[in-house]
Amino acid sequence: MRIGELAKTTAIPVETIRYYEKIGLLPEPVRDGSGYRAYRSAHLDRLQFIRRCRNLDMAQDEIRELIRLTEQPEADCGEVDALLAHHLDHVRERLRELARLEDTLVQLQQACTEGRTVRECGILDGLSAEPDAEAPAGRHNHVPGSHRPGRR
């Protein structure tokens, strides 16, 4: 099958499929006589696996490790369990961060009252104030809890 058909079947854009090949999550397919990539059912299976992992918000390194582990079918699955447990801890931390974010947004919204000008806006005043001392150090990105380098 060609890349367009693979993209349509998996609902993964062509550019993403090429990217997965480039970073080694998807093995490069053989080329047919015309030089086109010829994907096999193994590529389809791998892409579906990757898509399921991404739907669970797993990082590329986590997916790469799971792929490595699938290549050892007789090994103990303890490493798989440990990887998932670590990812679950990460998701729970992100949920706590999102709850803190929600609390902050609620507080900001409560600072707004009707009949005031933009100059008197409590929301804008709150956004202009110094950040909360309670915010964890090193958290400056818009989406808290993104996977940190060196962690699975």
State the Cα–Cα distance between residues 99 and 71, nearest whole angstrom: 38
CATH number of 3-70: 1.10.1660.10
Helix (H) or strand (E) holding 34: none
Cβ atoms of residues 122 and 134 within 8 Å = no
Q: What Rg, from alpha-carbon coordinates, does the chain have?
A: 22
16-58 pLDDT, tens digit per residue, is 999 999 999 999 999 988 888 899 999 999 999 999 999 999 9
pLDDT of residue 55: 95
Domain boundaries defined on the chain: 3-70, 78-128
Cβ atoms of residues 13 and 7 within 8 Å = yes
The number of beta carbons lying within 10 Å of the beta carbon of residue 27 is: 14
51-87 pLDDT, tens digit per residue, is 999 999 999 999 999 999 999 999 899 999 999 999 9
* pTM across the whole model: 0.72
Q: Does pLDDT of 150 surpass 70? A: no
